Structure 1
Amino acid sequence: MYELLEKVKVLEPTNPNKSTALFGGKASGILNWNDIAYPHFYQHREQIRALFWRASEVDMTQDTKQFPTLSHQEQDAFLKIIGLLATLDGPQTDVASRISNLSTDPSVKSIMSTIADQESEHNHSYAYVLSSVTTLDKQIESFETGRTDGVLLKRNERILEVYNEFAESPTLLNVLKAMVYTSLLEGLFFYSGFAFFYNLARNQKMVGTSTMISYINRDELQHGRFISDLFRATLAENPNYNTSEFTNWVYDQFRHSVEQETTWSWYVLGGIDGIDLIEMEGYIKYRANKMLRLLGLSDIYEGFTENPMKWIRAYVDNFDDTKTDFFEQKSRQYTKTSDLNGFDEL
């Protein structure tokens, strides 16, 4: 039987400022960024904070005009994918807050609070996009997708199971499992949806929406990096959880998630001009391998170490690049890119 973690007190002056453990340790609650247990967490904090943006700063004027001109398949995929993204991003604010409440490291609390705020803006952005391009009835219908679409419900069964178990029984093991699924959300589950919007953009369609998606995508990449780092550090502090049984559980979740993401992509992207579904399946496996490496594990899909969808790299900024000036919205010209374009491999 695993012991439940307790919510951390706001202030406990008898404890040291530097936390003694990420979870289940002691800390005063006073955060001094120059005296934290994991100094490199400060770089995560700075990188995540540097990504501030608001949905309302993205110009949707052309998208409003273009949406009615999309094919029926494109409109249907657009609404279903927004529904998927809202279903996944909405709970992330809550999950980030719950992890924050359980951590005894004040630097983790601070970073997770920023992540929670950004996830809230992601969810708002989906409503903002839909309100710009379609009627209220269609907006509501899109947000109902996560509760009513059979394929999506099947796809999200394990996410629901792991997140709800974490909420109801916040043990350290369930925190670790929630981190695994947060990593999957940030680094794998969104990507067939992102690809759909980027494919529209490279055909000069719905560029405002794709711009918004690229901002979200970049946030998720940074979130995924921090969560993976936090996961590894937590396991290092608690080596008794670093078992072959748990490792096999993680691999099983990744295999299952790749299967579900692939099924979803064939369901929602079938017939979309410009999307090669075989290529998409390879891209999903490539993303899974990359996220496993971030978690400190090995590839499970041989031959998928390189991004098979090179063109998608033009739509997200490099991790280390200076952020785009979001306050000077410009019309983007999207073109296929070479391997030498300098963008980070997604």
Structure 2
Amino acid sequence: MEITKRKLIDAGAPNASTGILNGRSSNILNWDDVRFQWAYPKYKRMLANFWTPFEINMSRDIKQFPDLSEHEKDAFLKIIGLLALLDSVQTDYAGKVADYLTDSSLNALMIILAQQEVVHNHSYSYVLSSIVPKAKQDEVFDYWRTEPILRERNDFITNGYIGFAENPTVENLLHSIVYDVILEGLFFYSGFAFFYNLARNQKMVATSTMINYINRDEQLHVGLFEKIFKEVLREHPEYDTAELKAFGTATFKKAAELEIDWARHIIGNQIDGLIMPELEAYIKFMANKRAEQLGFQAPYEGYRTNPLRWIIAYQEVDLGKTDFFEQKSRQYTKTSDVNGFDEL
């Protein structure tokens, strides 16, 4: 079934939409009159996560980066290149999904999600501009063109999105959400582990703080798309088929294989504190977790516990208003004729 874009305004429709897809809605956002009761708590949580790269003091990382091993430097830059590509694609994808979600609250959540992805990409530029020359920064942002394994992983996601972008049907939307959860809930995770491992060795702690902010956002994004996925199936149960479940399990397994290949290539056995069998088990554990979140059978038998227990202290901390790693800057820039409000 094809799905159509919501109208800019529909004076004869209620504020709360009549359906998540192809429904009718005035498109006037009144948080007390929306279709999904979980939307407003999700909105408040996403707002509470607001941050900018300027909050992170990079001074220690600037001094430490030249002292990393050559392999650590190479992995650091290539993982940043990976994240930059994926979050760029994600910004655009969120906007496309927003066009087809009838309820104005879900459209608003997608716009916030896209804005957060823009901040993520800014953070990668911010890190790179702090530690390497502009020419190297440009090279890193082009790694997706030149690294074959990186290109294979990225093509896997972008090809999964193209079906929905070019032919917006219910089935293609559901498939694209599977790829979205892979992007935000699996494909980042060996990279996150690399940065957190540096942090527990007191290396590049400010960058790891920023990665934690991004990780926290991505967990919320996965939860949002999980909600949308399940609401679509609830309203359109004819698409909750054995074929969809088989597609989901197979796709998560393929994604885990690609992530493991990438981890072997970029991390291998040359990073102190990261043992490849444990990292591979962690990726399979995350693939099982994400597949089951969407209602699919886990692609791997076993792998029910996190083999990287130490990572929880870095990955799942609630930053709130605390100075995580004592790195969050508390200095607020004052506006002036020089910087203006746009520079805050």
TM-score normalised by structure 1 residue count: 0.91
Query: What displacement does 1:141 show?
Result: 0.9
Aligned to 1:301: 300
Decide which of 49, 72, 75 is 1:74's aligned counterpart: 72
Aligned to 1:344: none
Contact 2:250–2:299 under 8 Å retained in 1: no
Shift in alpha-carbon separation, 1:331–1:25, aligned structure 2, 3 A? closer
Amino acid in structure 1 at the alignment position of 2:63: K
Contact 2:249–2:298 under 8 Å retained in 1: no
Query: What displacement does 1:247 show?
Result: 1.2
Amino acid in structure 1 at the alignment position of 2:295: G
Q: Using the aligned pairs only, state the percent identity.
A: 46
- 1:265-344 map, 5 Å: 265-270=263-268, 271-318=270-317, 321=318, 323-325=320-322, 330-331=326-327
Q: Which moved more, 1:127-136 or 1:167-176?
A: 167-176
Q: Give the 3-state SS of the residue equivalent to 2:152 in structure 1.
A: helix
Aligned to 2:59: 61
Q: Whole-Å Cα distance in 2 between the matches of residues 178 and 46 of structure 1?
A: 26
Contact 1:152–1:264 under 8 Å retained in 2: yes
Query: What displacement does 1:329 show?
Result: 7.8
Q: Whole-Å Cα distance in 1 between the matches of residues 293 and 167 of structure 2?
A: 26
Amino acid in structure 1 at the alignment position of 2:46: I
Aligned to 1:210: 208
Is there any run of 5+ residues in structure 2 with no aligned partner, and where? 329-344
Contact 1:187–1:291 under 8 Å retained in 2: yes
Amino acid in structure 1 at the alignment position of 2:299: I
Shift in alpha-carbon separation, 1:301–1:83, aligned structure 2, 3 A? same
Aligned to 1:29: 27
Query: What displacement does 1:331 show?
Result: 4.3
Shift in alpha-carbon separation, 1:322–1:84, aligned structure 2, 3 A? closer
Aligned to 2:128: 130
Q: Whole-Å Cα distance in 2 between the matches of residues 66 and 279 of structure 1?
A: 27
TM-score normalised by structure 2 residue count: 0.92
Q: Give the 3-state SS of the residue equivalent to 1:102 in structure 2.
A: coil
Instruction: Find out whether 1:153 has 2:151 as its counterpart.
Output: yes
1:178-235 C-alpha deviation (Å, 9 max, x unpaired): 1111111111000000010111111100001000000000000011011111101111
Query: What displacement does 1:299 show?
Result: 2.2
- 1:70-109 map, 5 Å: 70-109=68-107
Q: Whole-Å Cα distance in 1 between the matches of residues 39 and 220 of structure 2?
A: 12
Query: What displacement does 1:7 show?
Result: 1.9
* Equivalent pairs, count: 327
Q: Give the 3-state SS of the residue equivalent to 1:222 in structure 2.
A: helix
- RMSD over aligned Cα atoms: 1.5
Aligned to 1:336: none
Q: Which moved more, 1:35-44 or 1:69-78?
A: 35-44
Contact 1:58–1:329 under 8 Å retained in 2: no
Q: Whole-Å Cα distance in 1 between the matches of residues 228 and 202 of structure 2?
A: 39
Amino acid in structure 1 at the alignment position of 2:307: P
Amino acid in structure 2 at the alignment position of 1:113: I
Contact 1:82–1:142 under 8 Å retained in 2: yes
Amino acid in structure 2 at the alignment position of 1:293: E
1:255-281 C-alpha deviation (Å, 9 max, x unpaired): 100000000000000111211111001
